Amino acid sequence: MLQEPVAFEGVTFEIEESKVPGDYALKLKKNNQSVYVISKYKPKDNLTKLINLEKCNKKTMFIFIGYGMGYLAQHITNVIGKKTQIIVLEPSQQLLDAQLAITPATPNIVFFSGTNFNVLRNEIRGLINPLNIKDISVVMHPHYDEFYTEYLKDALSLISDIKRGIQIDINTVKKMDQNYIKNCVANLMHINKSRDFAYHKDRYKDIPAVIVSAGPSLDKNLEYLKDWNGLIFCAGRTIVSVRSIGKDADFAGLIDYKKVINQTFMGHNDVPLIALLDAGNTIIEEYRGDLYFVEHTPIAREMAGINLPKVNIGGSVATLCLDAAHYMGCNPIVFIGQDLSYSGNQSYSETCNIHENRERIAQRLENKKGIRPIPAYNGGEVLTSNTLLVYLRWIEHYIQSCDRTVEFINATEGGAKIAGTIQMPFKDVVEKYKHITKPQIEHNLLLQEPIDLRWKLEECIKRLKRTSTLCREAADVSSRLSYQYANFNPGRSPKMINQLRTRMKALNKKISSAKIDTMVGYMFSNSAIDIMTDDTYKRQLDKKEYADSAGIAQGHENIYKALDESIYKVIDVINTQLEKETSENKTEPVT
């Protein structure tokens, strides 16, 4: 025996020499049960049967449950290549250290052990993305699920939550398509009258702020808001809730890109509004209150050379309000109506004047499709949807990433438990902080002098057209590369391939320097994601080198064509907006 048994949550282990010289066996023990995770007989051969590499490609990312003496990692690295991404979850640090002492890790392996799942979440979030989400293979070493049942339940649930969030992002991109650039261009026409949100950065140090969300628990404590003297942030649909008790919101948030969002404001379009530049233009067009534009991508800088404050958002308007309050220096930041779940078969507070079919909600909860239990504010469990769970996890991660001096209070008094928050009845929160009064809020213009938007957008079109020309040449070069690989001639192809690859490198550099990624992003992603995730255009294990390269070059050709098509869609959107401005006899030039 090479390693003394070490306990981890009741599990001990032993590492011993196997029947194969130089190889080792691993045994786990718990409650008088003893099982070999790695067999004493041909340990490496038995482990390679856990996965069928024929279904993998050279972009596949592997998540191992257990290191398994590194044998399976070595096998996969040898077959696929040294750049293969492997994440290893080994519950016990002692067990991991014992294995690494025998089989050192290679640079392509990332390890996680212990119970700090925030570290695991950050690690996996940095590795999983829309382009590889279909190429993830989770491999469970034998018997780990029997010995680390609860641990693995939490770890695998975390991985599923991250993948679910990415899938929601993909679906959002598909739905937004041209809406993103249409809203950005239309809203940009209001930039000269917009206000400067950067002016508010850290201006409200230690001023309490409450975020009023529309969850059903808002009915419990809205009345106490009457005595609140700090800042009030609202979603569009809770402006009416706040006004129903004689108060007014200091800021409302807007992130939704759809036209129907107009209905949620119910005509209350005079509260200072913090809006994403790509938010629904139907609201912006008719808004009477002070407008603050912010962005989560540098679209205003790409289109018009304007720098707007960058915000972090997690899919719901409450996340925009949260980031805005933090940006402004507010402390504490308080949540009410932030149920993030179904409380009493409701989705919304009755104060929002939304008619809900509670029978339909009850049927959905009973059906349990897309529904799961999570820890509740008041103990026990509450039911939530996959989408609401993504919002919850985002908020928890945001809180965890903030400075510890900022206090977050969940005063919802119902719904989901939000990790990282202090739970306190809103009545007590109001009593504790009512002596602090917010200062006078000033709404200063973003631009001291109006800019010529027509000229800015016409220059933007010229840049897009120049990039389009580069994309067409890149598509042609990719096509010629694909031909050379598919019809490889040892005498002339190597020289031709080298010349084409050199030209492609130069074209890629010019396309990257054009700074149009954000403008074309959503439409291009819609077209390109199917190409980029298609196995036809990835390096396959069962293809010869030149056939493999031919497929990849063909994929690149299709990607450049998709980019060119997206560029012209953006140009069309800009031209349409400029024509609209002219036909409506708006100021010439557009200012």
Burial class from Cβ neighbours inside 10 Å (0-12, 13-18, 19+) for residue 403 reads exposed
Fold of 12-173: Rossmann fold (3.40.50)
* Contacts for 419 with CB less than 8 Å, ≥ 6 apart: 396, 399, 400
The dihedrals phi and psi of 34, each to the nearest 5 degrees, come to -135, 125
State the amino acid at position 180 in one-letter form: Y
Q: Is 560 left (phi over 0), alpha (psi -120 to 50) or beta?
A: alpha
Q: Specify the DSSP class assigned to residue 247.
A: -
Q: Is 587 helix (H, G, I), strand (E, B) or coil?
A: coil
Rounded distance between C-alpha atoms, residue 436 and residue 568, angstroms: 54
DSSP-assigned letters across all residues of 421-467: PEE--HHHHHHHHTT--PPPPP--BS-SS---HHHHHHHHHHHHHHH
Q: What is the pLDDT of residue 173?
A: 57
Q: What is the pLDDT of residue 540?
A: 47
Beta bridge partners of 30: 33
Q: What is the pLDDT of residue 5?
A: 36
* Contacts for 436 with CB less than 8 Å, ≥ 6 apart: 206, 207, 208, 229, 230
Radius of gyration of the chain (CA): 28
Element (H, E) at 65: strand 61-65
HEC secondary structure over 372-416? EEEEECCCCEEEEEHHHHHHHHHHHHHHHHCCCCCCEEECCCCCE
Find how far residue 507's CA is from the centre of its chain: 30
Rounded distance between C-alpha atoms, residue 225 and residue 426, angstroms: 8
Q: What is the pLDDT of residue 534?
A: 56
Identify whether the C-beta of residue 416 lies closer than 8 Å to the C-beta of residue 376.
yes
* ω into 589 cis (within 30 of 0): yes
* Contacts for 259 with CB less than 8 Å, ≥ 6 apart: 280, 282
Rounded distance between C-alpha atoms, residue 304 and residue 453, angstroms: 7
Identify whether the C-beta of residue 150 lies closer than 8 Å to the C-beta of residue 113.
no
Q: What is the pLDDT of residue 355?
A: 55
Q: What is the pLDDT of residue 573?
A: 92
The residue behind tokens 């404050």 is: 309
Q: What is the pLDDT of residue 431?
A: 97
pLDDT, mean of each 10-residue run, the chain (591 residues) = 44 90 91 89 82 76 90 88 88 92 91 80 76 79 88 83 73 67 93 96 97 94 96 94 95 86 82 95 92 93 94 93 97 96 78 64 71 90 90 93 93 95 97 95 95 94 94 92 87 91 93 88 69 52 61 84 89 92 61 45
Rounded distance between C-alpha atoms, residue 483 and residue 554, angstroms: 9
Angle, vertex CA 374, rays to CA 371 and CA 376, nearest 5: 125
* Contacts for 228 with CB less than 8 Å, ≥ 6 apart: 210, 247, 430, 433, 434
Rounded distance between C-alpha atoms, residue 255 and residue 270, angstroms: 17
Q: What is the pLDDT of residue 408?
A: 98
Rounded distance between C-alpha atoms, residue 139 and residue 544, angstroms: 27
